[in-house]
Amino acid sequence: MDVVIVGAGVVGAACAHYTSRSGLSVAVVDRGPVAGGTTGSGEGNLLVSDKVPGPELELALLSATLWQQLSEELPPDIEYELKGGVVVAASQDSLAALSMTATGQRRAGVEAYHVTPDRLRDMEPHLAPHLAGGCHYPQDAQVQPAVAASELLRSAGRRGALLCPGEEVVGILTDSRGAVRGVRTTRGELRAPVVVNAAGTWGGDLAALAGVHLPVLPRRGFVLVTEPLPRLIRHKVYAAEYVADVSSGSAALQTSPVVEGTPSGPVLIGASRERVGFDRTLSVPVVARLAAQAAALFPVLGDVRVMRAYHGFRPYLPDHLPAIGPDPRVPGLFHACGHEGAGIGLAPATGQLIADAIRGKRPALDLAPFAPERFDAE
Amino acid sequence: MPHSTDEPGARETGRAEVGQVDQVAEVAEVPEFAEVAVVGAGPAGLAAAVTAADHGLDVVLLDAADAPGGQYYRSPADGLGATRPGRLHHHWHTFTELSARLAAHRDSGAIRHLAGHQVWTVERTGDGDWILHAVTGGDQETRTAVRARRMVLATGAHERQLPFPGWTLPGVVSAAGAQAMLKSGLVLPGRRIVVAGSGPLLQAVAVSLTRAGARVPALVEAAGYGAYARAPRVLAGNPGKAVEGARFGAALARARVRVLTHRAVTEVHGDERVEAVTVSRVDHRWRPVAGTGRRIACDALAVGHGLVPQLELALAAGCVTRPGLDGTHAVVLDARLGTTVPGVWAAGESGGVGGVELALCEGELAALSIIREVRGGVRGQEARRAIALGRSRNRLRAFAALMGTVHRPGAGWSEWLTGDTEVCRCEEVTAGRIRTACEELGAGDTRTVKLLTRAGMGWCQGRTCGFAVRELATAHGTGQEPGGPDRRPLACPVKLSTLADLDGPG
């Protein structure tokens, strides 16, 4: 065994896919099932539109290309759809801010087109009237995240990867020099010179087992799911305020409407962000706010019934960037976690960077901004 | 889809303007208050509500149905000309007596009975009260909220179904559904009806159907009644149950219903609707025995495999649950029917399926426990009553546990499925797809199967297929924990505008 990947979410699955494809023998271990954590609670967003120029946007652009390749390799069940995103602004002020963001994004290689109010109604006929304008991002896409993760794992499995769901890692094995030798699990030991921490929200706990500090915290989000509808909403549509909420470090509740249709019919309504630990109870005020914002954006949804609501916990690090790459504090330990709400989108790039880093190949992107030890100086 | 693009938009603008807060929103800011809220007006909820009111507590009783009685004491709507609805019920006199007490308390104002109110979630306020959010009205468009210091959850159960080839054909109805159709509308699902599945409900259903004029050629029970005899102490403690069983046996014999035990309907035949069923012998693990299939002609099949407690609100409140011997999950309760959450009690099927007698007993006992807490103690007479009820409860719970064990579907039932048998009807997910998700995609629990196949994501939110999906995940998965009870944070669908109305300013 060359590599043990801890975590069978989409990031762990992508790491398994790319490392096994580079010829390494891989085991994936997860205390729960496939896609049992944040992956299974996500909407499957593959977004470039919500990222400002910088390392995360570079990661997203690389991922966008890789997802397109994966959509040709993996079965159609992953429901990859290059549907494009439409960001709308209600006021002239927010439109001005949106336009400025878009200008910066364009320089970084993002396709972004200004949309006039008239054209907005053509693109999304059910949008509320009187919006100031918006921006169209054709590179935004969507997948069914749980299916995508399990298909990535299945593809790794075909190349010999061992999948161990329901097996919890309880210790990191190290040699006398402190280098990784594998993991101890509830069922025994898996020995390998490389361990990849793709444990998502629990990535901080796994790092602690290796004796290192990685401050991953959960940030809760709710999603409302409506009854199945004919295709009313064509793009991923969200309010300009969403970008500000995504990058906010506040513990307080933020909600900004994100609305989209799915190939199966139901409309998904997000997105709330709050730091409340792992509280799993339904928050009526949050759900009410999401509903109000979605109905304001798409009045037609007012009469639609919400069938269910679910929540997930985004694994976030204080500077909103994931930890990707080798940990200089523990030789053999690699991190691939802390992707917050963008893990589905950023998974392929993360998997490829990790595979290259393990192989000693020069990675496609500079890993310095994602250095896992960057919080030690605090 | 019918909608007006003007109206919701106008409401949006209206809220944004100062001084135009609409009436509904204002009312909901200060919800109706009660010392005790009882959810569910079936046997357990009725008993709890009237007992609490008898002792001077201020009660709100919320129930989804228009008339009290729940699934068990379901009665025909006025105007159907039913002269003897009690003929289809046992313990009918208990119900008429409870109804009379409810009516008296309603008149005096001690109980506010909110009929036609579906509670969709509960939440705890900062000072420990509970807010029960409900929708009501013809299209469930109006929202209300009740604030209560204490809550009794008597939310009952729904029927457990196991799929088999042909079960989606018209003419296949649920056993409880057939019973409900009879009780509420006095209609029969067919003229020649096979009753099948497992559990004591089947006997009651078969007797009711024959009394209403149907021919029941066979009652097909996958377990055997002999298993009851292997627990003589439980039976000795519940002589009433033995008498009930004997009475049903005699009634079935009189109606010339053949009782076939250790057998199951393994296939339904027909083009447009049910024409016949195949009944096969099953072994002790419910595996069909090859070559034992026999066709029985019929035009309807009423099928059910026991009941599953409805735990949405208990889970929303944070109550701890446990797996039961019958394969379903139930709320963990102490001897006074308190849940693991302070201020929340549960009675009846919520604590594990046990039938009407147990529900009545637990409803009353839960109310006495609340009275004890409110008053800081109870008088001697009430204390003695609580002790007697506690004894009855233990005895009935022992019987319920036996019943759950006897009729728990054996693991071999899935062998009568073919790859193309639909398991989730709402999303049309077949047994073959679930098997693939488990064996090739690594699913081993209900949630992952749902994520990978959409099983349980449709209209019924997995109420029909949840048990079957869990069993298939266990059978084909890689030995993972099948997971706890299914979570449904919204206990029923709620209109988006109704949710949006709850959003306060700021």
Tell me how close the Cα of A72 comes to any Cα of chain B, in angstroms.
19
Query: Which of residues B362, B379, B403 is at a domain's end?
Result: B403
Mean pLDDT, all residues of chain B? 87
Quick one: average pLDDT of A71-87? 95
Helix intervals (H) in B255-355: 312-317
Residues B248 and B379 reside in one and the same domain: no
φ/ψ of B34, rounded to 5, equals: -145, 150
Count A/B contacts: CB-CB distance under 8 Å.
161
Residue B395 forms part of a structural domain: yes
Residues B29 and B148 reside in one and the same domain: yes
Residues B170 and B250 reside in one and the same domain: yes
In one-letter notation, the amino acid at residue A11 is: V
Residues B174 and B152 reside in one and the same domain: no
Cα gap A48→A85, rounded to integer Å: 9
Residue B439 forms part of a structural domain: yes
Q: Which of A262, A281, A310 to mutate to test the interface with B (most CBs of B within 10 A)?
A: A281
**CA-nearest residue of chain B to A282?**
B489
* Residues of B whose CB is below 8 A from A285: 502-504
Q: Which of B45, B73, B44 is nearest to B61 (CA)?
A: B45
- The per-residue pLDDT for range A338-363, each reduced to its tens digit, is 999 899 999 999 999 999 999 999 99
Is A150's CB within 8 Å of B443's CB? yes
Is B9's CB within 8 Å of A129's CB? yes
Quick one: average pLDDT of B91-115? 92
In one-letter notation, the amino acid at residue B73 is: Y
What's the pLDDT at B87?
54
pLDDT at B15 over 90: no
Q: Kindly indicate the confidence band of residue B459, based on its pLDDT and cuts at 50, 70 and 90.
A: confident
CATH number of the structural domain spanning residue B457: 1.10.10.1100
Quick one: average pLDDT of B238-244? 84
**CA-nearest residue of chain A to B502?**
A288
Query: CA–CA distance from A120 to each of A136, A172, A259, A294 (Å)?
Result: 9, 53, 15, 17
pLDDT at B279 over 60: yes
* Residues of A whose CB is below 8 A from B9: 128-129, 299
Cα gap A197→A185, rounded to integer Å: 14
What's the pLDDT at A20?
97
- DSSP secondary-structure letter at B9? H
pLDDT at B75 over 90: no
**CA-nearest residue of chain B to A305?**
B495
Tell me how close the Cα of A51 comes to any Cα of chain B, in angstroms.
27
Q: Which of B120, B426, B446, B451 to mutate to test the interface with A (most CBs of A within 10 A)?
A: B451
Residues B275 and B206 reside in one and the same domain: yes
**CA-nearest residue of chain B to A232?**
B1
Residue B451 forms part of a structural domain: yes
**CA-nearest residue of chain A to B491?**
A308
* Residues of A whose CB is below 8 A from B481: 166
Is B496's CB within 8 Å of A224's CB? yes
Tell me how close the Cα of B414 comes to any Cα of chain A, in angstroms.
22
Interface contact B452, partner A, CB < 8 A: yes
Q: Kindly indicate the confidence band of residue B3, based on its pLDDT and cuts at 50, 70 and 90.
A: very low
Q: What value of ipTM does the predicted structure carry? A: 0.89
CATH number of the structural domain spanning residue B337: 3.50.50.60
What's the pLDDT at B180?
84
* Residues of A whose CB is below 8 A from B495: 302-306
Residue B347 forms part of a structural domain: yes
Is A33's CB within 8 Å of B480's CB? yes
Quick one: average pLDDT of B307-325? 95
Interface contact B3, partner A, CB < 8 A: yes
Cα gap B27→B422, rounded to integer Å: 46
User: Which residues neighbour A299 within 8 Å (Cβ) at sequence distance 6 or greater?
Assistant: A126, A128, B5, B8, B9, B12
Select the residue of B2, B437, B503 nearest A289 (Cβ to Cβ). B503
* Residues of B whose CB is below 8 A from A304: 1, 495-496
**CA-nearest residue of chain A to B447?**
A36
Is B499's CB within 8 Å of A288's CB? yes
Select the residue of B5, B444, B459 nearest A33 (Cβ to Cβ). B444
Is B493's CB within 8 Å of A305's CB? yes
Tokens 């299914």 belong to residue: B486
Residue B13 forms part of a structural domain: no
Is B2's CB within 8 Å of A303's CB? yes
What's the pLDDT at B364?
98
Count of CB atoms within 10 A of residue B84's CB? Answer: 8
Residues B458 and B394 reside in one and the same domain: no
**CA-nearest residue of chain B to A310?**
B489
Quick one: average pLDDT of A9-29? 97
Asked if residue B120 lies in contact with residue B491, where contact means CB atoms within 8 angstroms, the answer is yes
Residue B7 forms part of a structural domain: no
Is B121's CB within 8 Å of A282's CB? yes
Q: Which of B12, B320, B499 to mutate to test the interface with A (most CBs of A within 10 A)?
A: B499
Query: CA–CA distance from A56 to each of A84, A324, A325, A338, A365 (Å)?
Result: 19, 11, 14, 12, 11
Quick one: average pLDDT of B133-149? 89
Residues B25 and B146 reside in one and the same domain: yes
Q: Kindly indicate the confidence band of residue B503, based on its pLDDT and cuts at 50, 70 and 90.
A: confident
Quick one: average pLDDT of A121-146? 94
Q: Kindly indicate the confidence band of residue A308, based on its pLDDT and cuts at 50, 70 and 90.
A: very high
Residues B167 and B297 reside in one and the same domain: yes
Is B3's CB within 8 Å of A309's CB? no
Interface contact B315, partner A, CB < 8 A: no
Tell me how close the Cα of A331 comes to any Cα of chain B, in angstroms.
31
Q: Kindly indicate the confidence band of residue B7, based on its pLDDT and cuts at 50, 70 and 90.
A: very low
DSSP string, B405-467: HHHSPPGGGGGG--TT-EEETTTTEEHHHHHHHHHTT---SHHHHHHHH-TT-STTTTTTTHH
Residue B5 forms part of a structural domain: no
Domains and CATH numbers, chain A: 3-74+144-216+319-375 (3.50.50.60), 85-138+217-315 (3.30.9.10)
Count of CB atoms within 10 A of residue A253's CB? Answer: 16
**CA-nearest residue of chain A to B319?**
A281
Interface contact B131, partner A, CB < 8 A: yes
Residues 5-24 of B with CB under 8 A from A: 5, 7-9, 11-12
* Residues of A whose CB is below 8 A from B459: 227, 307
What's the pLDDT at B241?
83
Quick one: average pLDDT of A117-124? 94
* Residues of B whose CB is below 8 A from A291: 496-497, 499-500, 502-503
* Count of structural domains, chain B: 3
Q: Which of A126, A130, A279, A284 to mutate to test the interface with B (most CBs of B within 10 A)?
A: A284
Of A97-101, B352-356, B486-490, the one with minimum mean pLDDT is B486-490
Quick one: average pLDDT of B112-129? 94
What's the pLDDT at B243?
83
- The per-residue pLDDT for range B16-32, each reduced to its tens digit, is 333 333 333 334 456 78
Residues 399-428 of B with CB under 8 A from A: 427
Tell me how close the Cα of B250 comes to any Cα of chain A, in angstroms.
46
Residues B193 and B313 reside in one and the same domain: no
Residues B353 and B386 reside in one and the same domain: yes
Select the residue of A32, A147, A292 nearest B452 (Cβ to Cβ). A147
- Parent domain of B298: 161-305
Residues B165 and B297 reside in one and the same domain: yes
Is A282's CB within 8 Å of B440's CB? no
Tell me how close the Cα of A35 comes to any Cα of chain B, in angstroms.
7
Q: Kindly indicate the confidence band of residue B4, based on its pLDDT and cuts at 50, 70 and 90.
A: very low
Select the residue of B131, B442, B500 nearest A165 (Cβ to Cβ). B442
* Residues of B whose CB is below 8 A from A287: 499, 502
- DSSP secondary-structure letter at A328? T
Cα gap A321→A77, rounded to integer Å: 30
Residues B138 and B179 reside in one and the same domain: no
Of A23-32, B244-253, B327-336, B480-489, the one with minimum mean pLDDT is B480-489
Residue B492 forms part of a structural domain: no
Q: Which of B160, B163, B198, B176 is nearest to B486 (CA)?
A: B160
- The per-residue pLDDT for range A278-307, each reduced to its tens digit, is 888 888 999 999 999 999 999 999 999 999
- The per-residue pLDDT for range A187-232, each reduced to its tens digit, is 999 999 999 999 999 999 999 999 999 999 999 999 999 999 999 9
Q: Which of A308, A310, A311 to mutate to test the interface with B (most CBs of B within 10 A)?
A: A308
What's the pLDDT at A246?
67
Asked if residue B408 lies in contact with residue B327, where contact means CB atoms within 8 angstroms, the answer is yes
* Residues of A whose CB is below 8 A from B488: 308
What's the pLDDT at A271?
83
